[in-house]
Structure 1
Amino acid sequence: MTVALINGRPISFTDTLDGDVAIVLSHGLFMDQSMFDAQVCVLRKHYRIITWDQRGHGQDASVTEPFSLWDSADDLSALLVHLNIDKAVLLGISQGGYVSLRAALRYPEKVQALVLIATHAGVEEENQKVVYSQLLSAWLENSLTDEIAQSVSVLILGTDKKLAEPWIKKWQTIDNSTLCLNFNALADRDDLAPALSKLQMPALVIWGNEDGAISIEQVRQLEAGITYCQFMEIDGAAHSVNMTHAEIVNTKIKKFLAEALS
């Protein structure tokens, strides 16, 4: 793992270096770049793979001032400049998808293709926002109790307790200020749906039909809004489908990129 000063702050990243096509993988809320280990293992055989920790996450969890997902998109673009990469495929899951969409809209000349997993273009639905706010309040007031950790892990990782264990240990280290700043950046994001038609690069949308955070209507809106877009639904998969159904996801990504970049 390497640390570089990006937009005035240290950003941790890994770069496999080899490959004519670069893919930048952006993680979800409360996660870090290691959630893509299964993708890196497979995709690095064909592409140059870059993973990174967004503001307030992983090795870059020292955020002290409010920020937006547009700021994170600027970080992503600046990371490409730092690595002398003119153009890349952007792959993001959940919050990482929100960041990738913003980077693609603000810097379209830098984006060859998009892979959007368990994400969408709109704002948080009010009923979902209330649930998340209540969960955040309980976390802040009581620290990360077993009950709260279970609720968070089910929402993000599904029911696999073994998969959740190492992530819960990481979540227990998040301080309250960072927790709030991360949540606010996600909850206060703007609606990108009206701008989706501006995205002219090929895109792939992947969604698990047991995702409790993203609805079928939201991903279908994303699919319909992007001009050149494929959609894949994975039966029985929850939110972090790239981890729980890695083989299926990796196979689809490889097929999509082989076609889109040919």
Structure 2
Amino acid sequence: MKAYKLDIGGIDYACVEAGEGPLLLLCHGTFGGKRLMFPQLEYLSRHFRCVALDWRGHGGSGHTPGGWTANDLVEDVAAIIGALGEKRAMIAGVSQGGAVGMRVALKYPEKVRALVNMCGGPGGPPPAAIRRLYDLAAFFAEERDEAVRRAAVVEFAASYFHAPSFITREPERFAEEVDAILSHPRESIRLLPCVPESYVDITPRLGEITCPTLIIWAAEEARKTMGIELAAAIPGAELVTIPDAGHHVNVDQPEATSEAIERFLLRH
């Protein structure tokens, strides 16, 4: 694996790359980080040029002090594909990564060879959930007692992202996710909910997505039927449901998720 940064419109994007072949962008969710995509990067780099990135404000990437939107990330992805010397890419994203991927496929269909959406919805969370995310982000930014801060991140990640069995089944993997969340700069972590807040519901436009699409949905995802609804609305989309997995399906069940992505992309 090699690590580097790309200057995208004045924002440094931290990336890790492995493998050769068609370009595959691996995009994490809000509060996640590129390291959470490493199991997919390592597995899929046998066939593809895999690039895992930190979104704006996450991990090693820069950010804009005034915040940013989902539309900004759509433009960033389009620019990243070009900066990597490619005209087209496959996009595999979880949560925010999947939500942004669908929007890239709508705005820049010529740039997206195939799309894998893992638990990414077409719209944003309700206002009460957004307020809760902002409150949590402010706490993560301001709390100076590291033990208290870590305990809050543990509770947040366990309740939002995972199947009930995950923490006891994979304690090391869960600790890695907690470390990833704690690694975000304090000045940017408070801004991370600005993307979920910015989503405009694209449900009426899902039928316009023309690239081959795989929906990977977690059996323990709170929005039980959304995966079925997305697959029905996107022409020709395929659906794979991963058992014993929550919202961060690729973290809960990395092997099953990676295998599903591999099977799909090798056909397209």
- TM-score scaled to structure 1, two decimals? 0.89
What residue number does 1:209 align with?
219
Task: Specify the code of the residue in structure 2 equivalent to 1:245.
Answer: Q
Q: Is the 8 A contact 1:90 1:115 kept in 2?
A: yes
CA deviation string 1:18-47 (max 9, x = no partner): 11x211111111111111111111111111
Residues in 1 aligned to 2:179 and 2:103: alpha-carbon distance in whole angstroms: 30
Measured in 2, the distance between the counterparts of 1:201 and 1:162 equals 36
Contact 2:29 2:96 survives alignment (8 Å): yes
1: CA distance between counterparts of 2:255 and 2:183? 31
Secondary structure, counterpart of 1:181 in structure 2: coil
2:59 alignment partner AA: G
The within-5 A match list for 1:217-236 is 217-236=225-244
Kept in 1, the 8 Å contact 2:221–2:247? The answer is yes
Identity of aligned residues (%): 24
Computed over aligned residues only, the root mean square deviation of the Cα atoms, in angstroms, reads 2.1
> Residue 130 of structure 2 contacts residue 196 of structure 2 at CA under 8 Å; is this kept in 1?
no
What is residue 175 of structure 2 aligned with on the other side?
165
Match of 1:152 in 2: 156
Distance across 1 between alignment mates of 2:191 and 2:134: 13
The answer as to whether partners of 1:122 and 1:218 remain within 8 angstroms in 2 is no
Q: Which amino acid aligns with 2:50?
A: I
- 1:9 is matched with 11
Q: Any conservation in 2 of the 1:208–1:236 contact (CA below 8 Å)?
A: yes
Q: Which residue of 2 aligns with 1:87?
A: 88
1:220–1:6 distance in 2 versus 1, CA, 3 Å: same
Which digits, 9 at most, give the CA deviation of each residue in 1:63-115, with x for residues without a partner? 41221011111111101111121111111000111111111111110111100
Q: Which residue of 156, 161, 185 maps to 2:195? A: 185
Tell me, what secondary structure is at the counterpart of 1:253? Answer: helix
Alignment of 1:30-49 (within 5 A): 30-49=31-50
Displacement of 1:225 after TM fit?
1.6
TM-score of the superposition, structure 2-length normalised? 0.87
Which residue in the other structure is 2:52 paired with?
Answer: 51
SS in 1 for 2:47: coil
**1:157–1:164 Cα contact (<8 Å) kept:** no
**Distance in 2 separating the partners of 1:170 and 1:44:** 22
Quick one: which amino acid aligns to residue 245 of structure 2? Answer: A
* Structure 2 contact 59–183 (Cα < 8 Å) conserved: no
Match of 2:264 in 1: 256
Stretches of structure 1 that go unaligned for 5 or more consecutive residues are: none
- Name the counterpart of 1:124: 125
After TM superposition, give the deviation of residue 183 of structure 1 in Å. 0.7
- Name whichever of 148-157 and 75-84 sits farther off: 148-157
Which stretches in structure 2 are left out of the alignment for 5+ residues? none
Give the count of matched residue pairs.
Answer: 257
Residues 137 and 191 in structure 2, CA contact (< 8 A), matched pair in contact too: no
**Alpha-carbon distance, 1:197 to partner:** 0.9
In 2, are the aligned partners of 1:23 and 1:89 still within 8 Å (CA)?
yes
Displacement of 1:165 after TM fit? Answer: 2.0
Cα separation, 2, equivalents of 1:134 and 1:4: 31
